[in-house]
Amino acid sequence: DPAAAVLQVTIVSPPDSSAFALGERIHFQAAGRNAYTNQPAGTHYLWRSNISGLLSYKAEFYIDSLPAGTHLITALVEDSQYGQGTTAIVLTVAEVTEPRARITTPDRDTTFYAGGSFRPAGTSFIPDDGAYIAGHSWSFGENSGIADITEQDPGTVTWNNHGIFEMIYRVLDTFGRAGADTVRVSVLKADDMPTVTIISPAAKDTTIFLGDSLLLEADERVTVAPVISRAWIYPPGSGLE
């Protein structure tokens, strides 16, 4: 019933169970989809922290003033018909007690086609104990074909080999302490297509009695292009067309 549809809400950033340094700039982003049509939806947003209270009324924002502690972050999204949905994550903000590195571009695992380029960026935090950052390094994964770089700014990087690679940003301070952050980079061949596998029912051919229910579930692998629709197609005469 479309009139009963609610919104399915996803917190795109930051990931659940993330940890941040006190004073670190944190990226928040939420998205809503209509649970009936699976189309993007949402005109009003409300973000709250169980520690800091109201954070924002925007779909996307940045904040660097969260106090130390374990925050339960809740995002509520409402559409123009007053349908609502909500979801929550937990993140931790703590004093810096050892060097920390953070990849900020991209700020999450990313996927694109071979031959694509982007300029990685990172930031670092060290304890207030007299140390300073002595070195930076970037590595791009075995068989990526990209040489390690020992600069904070690695410049634009082009990914010509397809595969799944671990891009790592490392920092070293003058006391010999190190910190690192990792982002997974999936590089696809140009002819890679989305694939779908039906996992329920598990048998290729299934027989049930009239009036019985059946759980339908599928697993998908998508490409770099966004998914614009999903649908189950039922045969003529099933009554489910």
The arithmetic mean of pLDDT across residues 117-140, rounded, is 94
Predicted confidence (pLDDT) at residue 143 exceeds the cutoff of 90 = yes
pLDDT score, position 1? 46
Predicted confidence (pLDDT) at residue 207 exceeds the cutoff of 60 = yes
Strands 26-34 and 7-13: antiparallel
Share of the chain above pLDDT 70, in %: 93
Q: Which residues pair with 188 in a beta bridge?
A: 113
Helix (H, G, I), strand (E, B) or coil at 118: strand
pLDDT tens digits, residue range 64-107?
Answer: 999 999 999 999 999 888 889 999 999 999 999 899 999 999 98
pLDDT score, position 120? 96
pLDDT tens digits, residue range 208-230?
Answer: 888 888 888 887 766 655 565 67
How far apart, in Å, are the Cα atoms of 9 and each of 60, 75, 183, 227? 13, 8, 24, 16
Helix (H, G, I), strand (E, B) or coil at 187: strand
| Rounded-to-integer distance, Cα 175 and Cα 6, Å | 53
Helix (H, G, I), strand (E, B) or coil at 4: helix
| Rounded-to-integer distance, Cα 129 and Cα 119, Å | 32
The domains located in the chain, with CATH, are 2-94 (2.60.40.10), 100-188 (2.60.40.10)
pLDDT score, position 3? 46
The angle formed by the CA atoms of residues 228, 103 and 133, to the nearest 5 degrees, is: 175
pLDDT tens digits, residue range 161-205?
Answer: 999 999 999 999 999 999 999 999 999 887 766 778 888 887 778
